[in-house]
Amino acid sequence: MFRLSGRTLGLVGFGNIARQVARRAAAFGMRILFADPFVEEGRDDVPGKKTEFVDLLARADFLSLHPPLTPETRKMIGDEALSRMKPTAFVINCSRGPVIDTDALVRALDARKIAGCALDTIDPEPLPDPHPLRGRENVIVTPHVAWYSEQALVGLQAGAPAEVRRVLMGEWPLNVVNRAVKGRSRAGL
């Protein structure tokens, strides 16, 4: 057991969920670093210092993954990224399974290049039985339900229709991934 205070949380991607994680981690006295090419430091008074991805890997005690799955992020956590991490570091994936190269993760765990991982999403999903990630004391795998609560389900069911309504009413949606399209909108949003 060790304390969280003074430890470094590295966030890959700094969208809505990662910013909420940063706020909560800061309350425990953690140092917050993030790497996201689309976000500037100091956004929305959220704690965190922007850094380069390679620096983030080397400094994080906990690496929490929050990027969207794109061709650029697919298997971004592979042999090279894992080899840059501290042997005492943990990887946490609540975004998309294919962001991690599962075979590279198994190799890193076997070679003790990292201390462990917590995976709410994996690739492949569901994780076959048997699989080298199963049955390890330093691996936690959950069935992609970390987001779930009765309240979250209600919010999810209401969120998408509310966004569609906003657009149909000529308003800009609240949850936009690519804000660069705002100026190019045909509807003048």
Residues taking part in catalysis: 96, 125, 144
Task: Say how far apart CA 182 and CA 7 lie, in whole Å.
Answer: 38
**Residues ≥6 apart with Cβ < 8 Å to 17:** 66, 94
Helix (H) or strand (E) holding 35: strand 31-35
Residue 29 to residues 4, 33, 81, 93, Cα–Cα distance (Å) = 7, 13, 26, 22
Task: Say how far apart CA 188 and CA 145 lie, in whole Å.
Answer: 38
The torsion angles phi and psi of 63, rounded to 5 degrees, stand at -110, 110
Helix (H) or strand (E) holding 139: strand 139-141
Helix (H) or strand (E) holding 156: helix 150-168
Contact assessment for residue 63 and residue 94, using Cβ atoms and an 8 Å cutoff:
no
